[in-house]
Amino acid sequence: MTLTIDSSESTPKTAGRQSAPRGGALDPVFEWMCFGCASLLLAALIGVIGTLMVGGWPAFHKFGLQFFVVSSWNPVTEVYGAAGPIVGTLITSFLSLIFSLPIAFGIAVFLVEFCPPFLRRPIGTAVELLAGIPSIVYGMWGLFVLAPWFALHVQVPLLTVVQPGSWLDKLTSGIPNGANILTASIILAIMILPFMSAVLRDLLLTIPTQVRESAYGLGASTMEVVMSVSLPYIKRSAVGAVMLGLGRALGETMAVTFIIGNSHAFPKNLFDSGSTIASTIANEFNEATSDMHTSALIALGLVLFMITFAVLAIARALLGRPKVV
């Protein structure tokens, strides 16, 4: 899945120059052009970080560390606290991971161990199609299909059963219309499912056949082989792949905005509406006229950038040395 160039394996430079092929004189130019492309990418990254820091500085300067802790987001009094969106982002992303990981793993194991050859293609195609659906379509599906279903079949029955004041009530109280953190996490889980199952399947396919066959030869059942042999073998890389899926879930905007209920307050429980950093920026950036509001939103963007950067750095470290694919 990951494509990286390991420079130690490229052809030595002397060979081409000694035999002097027709376009040999243009080689340095070609090299500089490629270097230019790479540095363009680096420049864009530095530019993004720089813009976020410069734009978010007024908000950080005014609110300091309170920015991360206070949950009141008030454009009228110009007091901005990002605790609500930050917590919402982290909760929805991690929850979506918890929901999708077992299913992705199940899909990967099925495709590798159990799947009859004639089914392999259709299921693979179905997973890829799921990955190709635009996120805003997920958002609309969530708003018009999942939210009413959830409200009608989960929240309304709970309302009739739960006694007010009990611990179950504290866990499940919320406006019964299906727009809450739990449904947003479900949508996110469906969105990162194809990516994760594809990566896990590829990882399972990298296990040498001897390792698996020797486990079968010892008399292990398929479940024992998968749980005790395959899974530990790919554990480290699987965690890295999972972090990549988490990185995608952290930045997801449109799918979440429609269905999370968009309230900046600290969510009381999973059935309460909340907000994420991406949904807050998407909702408010267009109309933010005052400088402090714009700066607070840019500061939020920087926070999300830092979170995603940290997650991806950990993923990179866990995936180990880059291999040529």
Partner 1 sequence: MFKKFIIGASAAALLASAAHADNFTGAGATFPAPVYTAWAQAYKAANGSELNYQAIGSGGGIRQIEAKTVDFGATDKPLKPADLDAAGLMQFPMVMGGVVPVMNVPGVNPGDIKLTGPVLAQIFIGDIKTWGDPRITSLNPTVKIPNLPITVVHRSDGSGTSFVFTTYLANNSPAWAQRVGANDSVEWPTGLGGKGNDGVAAFVKQTIGSIGYVEYAFAKQNKLTYAAMKNKAGAFVEPTAPAFVAAAAGADWTKAPGNYLLLLDQPGAASWPITAPTFVLVYKKQDKPETGKEVLSFFDWAYKNGDAAAVQLDYVPLPAPVKALMRKEWADTIKGPDGKAIYVSK
Binding site for partner 1 (CB under 8 A): 72-77, 143-144, 147-148, 151, 175-179, 257-258, 261-264, 273, 275, 279, 282-284, 286-289, 293
Nearest distance in Å: CB 31, partner 1: 26
Nearest distance in Å: CB 37, partner 1: 23
**C-beta closer to partner 1: residue 75 or 251:** 75
181-205 and 83-109 are packed helices; what angle lies between their axes, rounded to 10 degrees?
A: 40
**C-beta closer to partner 1: residue 19 or 286:** 286
Map residue 74 onto helix, strand or coil: strand
Nearest distance in Å: CB 94, partner 1: 23
**C-beta closer to partner 1: residue 9 or 287:** 287
Nearest distance in Å: CB 159, partner 1: 10
CA-CA distance, 151 to 120, in Å (whole number)? 36
**C-beta closer to partner 1: residue 7 or 77:** 77
DSSP string for residues in 3-17: ----GGGSPPHHHHH
Nearest distance in Å: CB 45, partner 1: 26
**C-beta closer to partner 1: residue 58 or 176:** 176
**C-beta closer to partner 1: residue 127 or 259:** 259
Q: Are 102 and 193 in contact (CB under 8 A)?
A: no
Nearest distance in Å: CB 186, partner 1: 17
CA-CA distance, 249 to 93, in Å (whole number)? 5
* Residue 320: how many other CB atoms lie within 10 Å: 10
DSSP string for residues in 214-277: HHHHTT--HHHHIIIIIHHHHHHHHHHHHHHHHHHHHH--HHHHHHSB---SPPSSTTS-B--H
